[in-house]
Amino acid sequence: MNETFDFVVVGAGSAGCALACRLSENPSVSVLLLEYGGSDVGPFIQMPAALSYPMNMRRYDWGFATEPEPHLGGRVLATPRGKVIGGSSSINGMVYVRGHARDFDTWEAMGAAGWGFRDVLPYFQRLENTKEGDASWRGMDGPLHVTRGTKWNPLFDAFIEAGRQAGYAVTADYNGARQEGFGAMEMTVHRGRRWSAANAYLRPALKRGNLRLVTGALARKILFENKRATGIEYERGGRIRTARARREVILSASAVNSPKLLMLSGVGPAANLTEHGIEVVADRPGVGDNLQDHLELYIQQACLRPITLYKHWNLVSKALIGAQWLFTGKGLGASNQFESCGFIRSRAGVEYPDIQFHFLPFAVRYDGRAAAEGHGYQAHVGPMRSKSRGRIRLTGADPKAPPSIRFNYMSHEDDWAEFRACIRLTREIFAQEAFAPYRGKELQPGGNVQSDQELDDFIRDHAESAYHPCGTCRMGAADDPMAVVDPQCRVIGVEGLRVADSSVFPRITNGNLNAPSIMVGEKAADHILGRLPLPASPLEPWIHPHWRTRQR
């Protein structure tokens, strides 16, 4: 069962599919892509409106969970990661956000040379296929289709108008020059289907003879000769197999599984590895550290008019919506229902937005449980740049043992003040005249929750993950003792091994992580193949001219 390829890539997720596709564009190289999950064929993944199903199905999800989070009252939070071709792009909410330009300038300042905004913008343009926005800022012919919804419900426009009435700007394209403001939200949907990394990159690439996909393959460890990675040991069908790499091994296994696989293979904090009887190949204390995520709250308002998705929350309506989507690719099933959004700054003195809103014409949880009160609408809101940091550690040397995940959510005191601001600013937006025809009582937190202490109690009990883990194999300068990969995504301290996925983010980006994860796969492919990077962009983002003195 020993086979040899030029490149062995672990993980057919957002970055891994993009990476395998771009590597295999070179007909002279051979690429093996290993994925533990299986097929994404089926309506639960492909129908956008069914998004709450795949992320709660063990068939498609690794089923990870945190340890009891000490600052959230000991709650255990789900940490879904895609276990299917397309990875988390096949089970996520399909929201498309590049991040703010300053996010990537910060990466560069933290040691990720060549990853500033001017450097990564051309890769976002290369991956995109959209007919929206300014063509000088957007990509028009890439593999990843990005669209906007029809805004079929008047509440979508009411949210944008309420933001304007509250004194914020309306942005024509938050993925273009100006993120700050309220506007239409974009989604990775094409012709009514989820446009995952599997649909965008993997399926076209598999038509080439030099890319092979192996599913049901659990990576057990990286094989080393001295300090050079030479392949992957994996299990498939109950048998241990080996795939050799002539040139390089690349991990694109997620912010949870990439550090786990490094540690299982002897690359990581020496004390933790020794504790589990793992021989140390390279003592890299940063492996598994720097874990970050976005937390969010659902601020829910009752709706006085029966116009929300609640009227479809029954088996008959769901069946009709599903049938319409199945036969026409249209209707409510063709949208993720996140069709308007906002990005604002929490206070004066913050240079660029640090709060994100997803608006939904329904009061419901990610797990699909609807508010008992009936018709309602909600904003998902949370701070974008928490100072809290967590870690991932091994629980044993068994590759099948789940890792220990602790985000240390809300461990920094600033997080509490930022979340209180999120709640109060959302209430102000919901109180605008645009919502007057629809606005009933506040369902959550509830009108009686007002003081700092009451808000803190609500945050502790109700904050939920937005499912954006990242940062556990942080990119930085080669002489940074806490960096895991250098700016070419090479694992520091060994040879022939790279990591390319959201784990390399030095700091979490503004918004959902699917787009920057794919961008990492795109850019890493050029580094791996020795290509010159795409020419840097001269474009400059819009920054509020009075950000030092004004909140809006």
Q: Where are the domains of the chain?
A: 2-529
pLDDT of residue 281: 98
515 is in an annotated binding site: no
Tens-place pLDDT, residues 268-323:
999 999 999 999 999 999 999 999 999 999 999 999 999 999 999 888 999 999 99
User: Coil, strand, or helix at residue 323?
Assistant: helix
Residue 177 has φ and ψ, to the nearest 5°, of -70, -30
pLDDT of residue 429: 98
92 is in an annotated binding site: yes
> Where in the sequence numbering do the catalytic residues fall?
468
Sequence-distant (6+) residues with CB within 8 A of 337 are: 49, 149, 309, 360, 361, 362
Task: Measure the CA–CA gap between 540 and 252, rounded to whole angstroms.
Answer: 31
93 is in an annotated binding site: yes
Task: Measure the CA–CA gap between 298 and 302, rounded to whole angstroms.
Answer: 13
281 is in an annotated binding site: no
Residue 6, both tokens: 């030029």
Query: What is the mean pLDDT for each group of 10 consecutive residues in the chain (552 residues)?
Result: 89 98 97 97 91 90 97 97 97 97 98 98 98 94 97 97 98 98 98 97 97 98 97 97 97 98 98 96 98 97 95 90 92 94 98 98 75 86 98 97 97 97 98 98 95 98 97 97 98 98 98 98 98 97 98 98
pLDDT of residue 372: 59
| 154 alpha-carbon distance from chain centroid | 28
Angle at 484 between CA 483 and CA 488, to 5 degrees: 100
Does residue 396 contact residue 298 with C-beta atoms inside 8 Å? no
117 is in an annotated binding site: no
Task: Measure the CA–CA gap between 351 and 204, rounded to whole angstroms.
Answer: 41
410 is in an annotated binding site: no
Q: What is the helix (H) or strand (E) element at residue 18, kind and residue range?
A: helix 14-24
Sequence-distant (6+) residues with CB within 8 A of 77 are: 65, 66, 69, 407, 409, 464, 465
Tens-place pLDDT, residues 14-27:
999 999 999 999 99
Q: What is the helix (H) or strand (E) element at residue 312, kind and residue range?
A: none
Residue 343, both tokens: 């990005």
User: Coil, strand, or helix at residue 242?
Assistant: strand
Does residue 25 contact residue 209 with C-beta atoms inside 8 Å? no
26 is in an annotated binding site: yes
User: Coil, strand, or helix at residue 202?
Assistant: helix
404 is in an annotated binding site: no
pLDDT of residue 313: 84
Other CB atoms closer than 10 Å to residue 56's CB: what's the count?
Answer: 17
Task: Measure the CA–CA gap between 35 and 206, rounded to whole angstroms.
Answer: 14
Out of 3.30.2270.10, 2.40.110.10, 3.50.50.60, 3.40.120.10, the CATH code matching 2-529 is 3.50.50.60
Adjacent-strand bridge partners of 3: 243
